[in-house]
């Protein structure tokens, strides 16, 4: 019997992609650390940024890192929920399947 596919931290919808993220501010460097499991079970993209969680600096660094990694505009990425929390849900506007494919490639073929 083949193994069950790993749950993904994103879903494709009509507007693009919804992405669940666990952000670690003051993480020493900016990096996408892969897919992990959140405290209550769903999959999350683990991201660390060097910026502190002050006045939106960590969120801005998160958006900049994702925009660069996925070759999209910063303005296409919006924090839907979790503005001041570590667990966030982001909206990435655009072609959802193409964004999912780029994200999977960046993460090593998740």
For the chain, give me the number of helices (H) and strands (E)? 2, 6
Longest distance between any two alpha carbons in the chain, whole Å: 50
Q: What is the pLDDT of residues 69-102, one digit of tens each?
A: 999 999 999 999 999 999 999 999 999 999 999 9
Q: What is the pLDDT of residues 12-54, one digit of tens each?
A: 998 999 999 999 999 999 999 999 986 677 899 999 999 999 9
Contacting residues for 110 by C-beta, under 8 A, at least 6 apart? 6, 8, 34, 35, 103, 104
- This prediction's pTM: 0.90
């Amino acid at each position: 019997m083949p193994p069950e596919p790993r749950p993904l931290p994103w879903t494709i919808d009509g507007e693009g992609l919804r992405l669940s993220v666990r952000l670690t501010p003051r993480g020493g460097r900016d990096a996408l650390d892969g897919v992990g499991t959140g405290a209550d079970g769903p999959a999350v993209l683990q991201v660390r940024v060097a910026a502190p969680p002050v006045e939106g600096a960590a969120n801005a660094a998160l958006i900049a890192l994702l925009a660069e990694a996925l070759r999209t505009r910063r303005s296409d990425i919006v924090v839907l929920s979790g503005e001041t929390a570590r667990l966030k849900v982001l909206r990435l506007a655009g072609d959802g399947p193409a964004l999912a494919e780029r994200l999977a490639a960046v993460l090593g073929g998740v």
